[in-house]
């Protein structure tokens, strides 16, 4: 939806009529997200000029963002009906059909959306290339790559001077699995148009698909050196295959651009994605020292918060999330996101009241992250031993997003242990098994198996996780948690020692997690935790 709003805003130009100032104000309000003001200004214009097509279309855009789709359709239909040639400088008839097509997409009527895109293409005239391109984008989003290829080809044919259409055609070919054909096309484009960032990007993707990760890294660095905004996914995945090569390549680029801290950030991202958190923070702190924390971009601050969180340095993580919250006070969605990120860290710290405060603020501000907010609120209530409230919160979270295996697991545990509702608990645990079917770092299947009495399977699943992620201390502590729940204290202590020896330092976890209740009175458990508390203090001093 946002795409069509900004596309349409770009099409509207100030025009020499009485309403010019209000149209400009409405456009400014639209771009700042103040939809109510857009509606106000355009309604005033339309009171005097009820057939003013640009005003009708702006109001349709604002109403669509407000969720008032009936009003939006009414306005865009009127705009199409009243459109005349005199408005062509501000908005073409094809623009209007394209705008309505995006409205249809928003309400899920894709057949009607495509029909309007077809009309936009047919009426496109000398600007037909633009509408072929938009329809091709629609096809790509739905994996109709052959249809997208045909439309991008027509766009390039209609406007051969726009290289982006040729690049997109190459991408559509690539997405159909015709790698060699796409490689030839993209190689030619990067040769003749070396400053086209998207050509460089997709040429790098060709190398990634061919598993030539070093070439992919080299090519992607060329892309990053010229792109304003970028998707780092391919570069990060290539770095996981050739980590040392990626670090060396970034370091070499840093020397070429020694006044640009962008590459410190890129190297920090590669370090973090490959679990070198200390090295990542070294690069990030260098940026902070040179630029000052008050001038740091959001993406740098978030990277610092995440790395400290991964290191279980929670107070530092809280510090940076708090800055992000203040920095995004004018952006309610971003502010809510960082409130919930901070709430998550507070839960790890056992600071239930602060976590609840952040969750409740998030829910008051915006419902964009409601499933996550209710889930975290449930965790915080559980920490406070407010188990009925926690069950209600987990249930509310699942009402928004039913396929959250963690919410099912946590609610099931509370049903079993505090309501003695075995039937409901077993239903939740069975649902976890349906959702959690692959051995990944975030898996919780082993706990559901344990609660269902399938302990041998639970141990086997845990063993598979440890085998796959043998270098991650958190999973050894997870194994300790599992065995503690099963009453196998010696095995639990063995895994706990191993996790702590490997560097796990969230010692507060063992003090507040009820899964460790069976170990908490053991002298060797107390001694072990106290020993590592002292070590953690020494590490911080050093």
Structural contact between residues 378 and 394, judged by C-beta atoms closer than 8 angstroms: yes
- Which pLDDT does position 19 carry in this prediction? 45
Length of the chain, in residues = 542
Q: What are the tokens at 412? A: 């099931």
**CA neighbor of 137 nearest in space, from 104, 164, 97:** 164
- Which pLDDT does position 259 carry in this prediction? 61
CATH code of 336's domain: 1.25.40.10
Q: Please give the tally of structural domains in the chain.
A: 2
Structural contact between residues 53 and 30, judged by C-beta atoms closer than 8 angstroms: no
Structural contact between residues 495 and 480, judged by C-beta atoms closer than 8 angstroms: yes
Structural contact between residues 432 and 408, judged by C-beta atoms closer than 8 angstroms: yes
Residue 403 domain flag: no
**CA neighbor of 355 nearest in space, from 366, 364, 344:** 344
Distance set, CA 211 to CA 50, 179, 297 (Å): 59, 12, 33
List, for residues 448-498, the tens digit of each pLDDT value: 999 999 999 999 999 999 999 999 999 999 999 999 999 999 999 999 999
* Distance, CA of 361 to CA of 338 (rounded, Å): 11
Residue 281 domain flag: no
Residue with tokens 């049903």: 415
Among 330, 364, 396, residue at a domain's last position: 396
Q: How many CB atoms lie within 10 A of CB 401?
A: 13
Among 361, 396, 431, residue at a domain's last position: 396
- Which pLDDT does position 331 carry in this prediction? 86
Q: How many CB atoms lie within 10 A of CB 253?
A: 18
Residue 463 domain flag: no
Its domain, for residue 509, covers: 471-541
What 3-state DSSP class applies to 292?
A: coil
Structural contact between residues 371 and 378, judged by C-beta atoms closer than 8 angstroms: no
Residue with tokens 């409405």: 26
Residue 359 domain flag: yes
Residue 261 domain flag: no
Cα-Cα end-to-end distance for the chain = 51
Residue 333 domain flag: yes
List, for residues 381-426, the tens digit of each pLDDT value: 999 999 999 999 999 999 999 999 999 999 999 999 999 999 999 9
- Which pLDDT does position 5 carry in this prediction? 46
Among 379, 396, 413, residue at a domain's last position: 396
Residue 523 domain flag: yes
Residue 59 domain flag: no
Structural contact between residues 377 and 360, judged by C-beta atoms closer than 8 angstroms: yes
- Which pLDDT does position 510 carry in this prediction? 87
* Distance, CA of 249 to CA of 156 (rounded, Å): 35
pTM for this one? 0.79
List the pLDDT tens digit at each of the 542 positions of the chain: 444 444 444 454 433 344 457 888 888 888 888 889 999 999 999 999 999 888 998 999 999 988 899 999 999 999 999 888 776 667 889 999 999 999 999 999 999 999 999 999 999 999 999 999 999 999 999 999 999 999 999 999 999 999 999 999 999 999 999 999 999 999 999 999 999 999 999 999 999 999 999 999 999 999 998 887 778 999 999 999 999 999 999 999 998 887 668 899 999 999 999 999 999 999 999 999 999 998 999 999 999 999 999 998 999 999 999 999 999 998 889 999 999 999 999 999 999 999 999 999 999 998 989 999 999 999 999 999 999 999 999 999 999 999 999 999 999 999 999 999 999 999 999 999 999 999 999 999 999 999 999 999 999 999 999 999 999 999 999 999 999 999 999 999 999 999 999 988 888 888 888 889 999 899 999 999 999 888 877 776 66
């Amino acid at each position: 939806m946002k795409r069509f709003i900004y596309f349409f805003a770009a099409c509207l130009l100030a025009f020499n009529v009485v309403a010019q100032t209000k149209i400009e104000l409405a456009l400014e309000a639209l771009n700042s997200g103040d939809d109510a003001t857009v509606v106000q200004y355009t309604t005033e214009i339309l009171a005097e000029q009820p057939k003013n097509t640009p005003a009708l279309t702006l109001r349709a855009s604002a109403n669509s963002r407000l969720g008032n789709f009936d009003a939006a359709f009414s306005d865009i239909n009127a705009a199409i009906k009243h459109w005349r040639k005199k408005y062509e400088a501000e908005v073409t008839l094809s623009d209007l059909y394209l705008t309505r097509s995006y409205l249809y997409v928003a309400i899920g009527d894709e057949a009607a959306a495509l029909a309007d895109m077809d009309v936009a293409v047919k009426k496109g005239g000398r600007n037909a290339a633009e509408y072929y391109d938009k329809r091709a984008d629609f096809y790509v989003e739905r994996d109709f790559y052959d249809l997208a290829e045909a439309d991008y080809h027509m766009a390039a044919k209609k406007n051969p001077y726009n290289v982006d259409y040729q690049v997109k055609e190459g991408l559509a070919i690539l997405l159909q699995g015709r790698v060699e054909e796409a490689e030839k096309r993209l190689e030619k484009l990067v040769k003749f148009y070396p400053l086209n960032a998207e050509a460089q990007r997709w040429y790098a993707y060709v190398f990634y698909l061919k598993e030539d990760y070093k070439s992919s890294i080299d090519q992607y660095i060329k892309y990053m050196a010229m792109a304003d905004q970028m998707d780092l996914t391919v570069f990060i995945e290539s770095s996981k295959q050739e980590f040392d090569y990626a670090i060396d390549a970034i370091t070499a680029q840093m020397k070429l651009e020694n006044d640009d801290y962008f590459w410190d950030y890129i190297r920090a991202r590669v370090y973090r994605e490959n679990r070198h958190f200390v090295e990542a923070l070294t690069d990030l702190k260098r940026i902070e020292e040179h630029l000052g924390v008050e001038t740091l971009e959001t993406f740098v601050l978030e990277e610092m918060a995440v790395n400290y969180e991964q290191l279980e340095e929670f107070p530092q993580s809280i510090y940076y999330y708090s800055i992000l919250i203040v920095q995004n006070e004018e952006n309610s969605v971003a502010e809510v996101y960082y409130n919930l990120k901070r709430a998550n860290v507070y839960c790890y710290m056992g600071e239930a009241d602060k976590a609840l405060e952040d969750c409740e603020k998030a829910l008051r501000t915006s419902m964009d992250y409601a499933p996550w907010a209710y889930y975290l609120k449930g965790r915080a209530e559980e920490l406070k031993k407010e188990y009925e409230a926690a069950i209600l919160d987990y249930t509310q979270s699942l009402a928004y997003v039913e396929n959250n295996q963690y919410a099912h697991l946590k609610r099931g545990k509370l049903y079993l242990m505090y309501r003695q509702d075995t039937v409901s608990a077993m239903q939740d645990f069975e649902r976890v098994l349906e959702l959690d079917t692959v051995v990944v770092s975030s898996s919780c299947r082993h706990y559901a198996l344990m609660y269902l009495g399938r302990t041998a399977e639970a141990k086997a699943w845990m063993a598979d996780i440890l085998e796959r992620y043998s270098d991650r201390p958190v999973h050894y502590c997870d194994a300790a948690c599992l065995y503690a729940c099963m009453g196998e204290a010696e095995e639990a202590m063995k895994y706990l020692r191993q996790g702590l020896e490997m560097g796990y330092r969230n010692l507060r976890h063992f003090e507040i997690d009820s899964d460790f209740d069976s170990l908490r009175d053991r002298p060797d458990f107390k001694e072990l935790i106290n020993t590592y508390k002292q070590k953690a203090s020494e590490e911080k001093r050093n």
